[in-house]
């Protein structure tokens, strides 16, 4: 007798991906476009989620252009929204320069304290063929 499977509800996944110049202007534009996209997806401006996402994108994009910049290479922002999670990913071309463990009393890396406080989890992944991706997940359900 075949096992019965439960019918699955379709999952709506929304994805936004854009490359930006590895400059301060590119980082600012990434933050602005992120909150604009979230608003279009039903997450209004000036809500806790929109504000948290803006801060996470701002920090990760600033790190990408400060520590991950390779002349002539852009960085990429990718937002993925599912029913229960907003995933923010920022990729750059410097795989060898990875974020270190967050140290509150350190001279650098304090921005990642903000990411750690706002996101439910964050991690760093190798990017093929070159570079790294810093990922922050914000759970939408309590």
Question: Using one digit for the tens of pLDDT, what is the confidence trace for 24-63?
Answer: 999 999 999 999 999 999 999 999 999 999 999 999 999 9
Task: List C-alpha distances in Å: 126 to 21, 64, 135.
Answer: 20, 14, 11
Give residue limits of the domains in the chain: 22-139
> Is the separation of the CB atoms in 87 and 137 below 8 Å?
yes
What's the predicted TM-score (pTM) here?
0.86
Closest CA to 29 of 90, 102, 117, 113: 90
Distance, in Å, from the CA atom of 19 to the CA atom of 1, rounded to the nearest integer, reads: 52
Residue with tokens 């590895």: 22
Say which residues have a Cβ less than 8 Å from residue 73's Cβ, sequence separation at least 6.
22, 92, 93
Fold entry, domain 22-139: Heat Shock Protein 90 (3.30.565)
Q: What is the mean pLDDT of the chain?
A: 87
């Amino acid at each position: 007798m075949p096992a019965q499977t439960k019918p699955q509800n379709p999952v709506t996944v929304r994805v936004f991906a854009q490359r930006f110049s590895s400059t301060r202007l590119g980082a600012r534009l990434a933050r602005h476009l992120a909150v604009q996209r979230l608003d279009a997806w039903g997450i209004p401006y000036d809500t806790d989620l929109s504000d948290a996402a803006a801060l996470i994108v701002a920090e990760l994009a600033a790190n990408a252009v400060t520590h991950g910049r390779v002349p002539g290479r852009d960085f990429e922002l990718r937002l993925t929204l599912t029913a229960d999670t907003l995933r923010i990913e920022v990729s750059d071309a410097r795989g060898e320069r990875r974020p270190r463990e967050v140290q509150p009393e350190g001279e650098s890396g304090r921005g990642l304290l903000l990411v750690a406080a706002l996101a439910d989890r964050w991690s760093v992944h190798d990017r093929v063929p070159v570079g790294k991706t810093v990922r922050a997940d914000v759970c939408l359900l309590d």
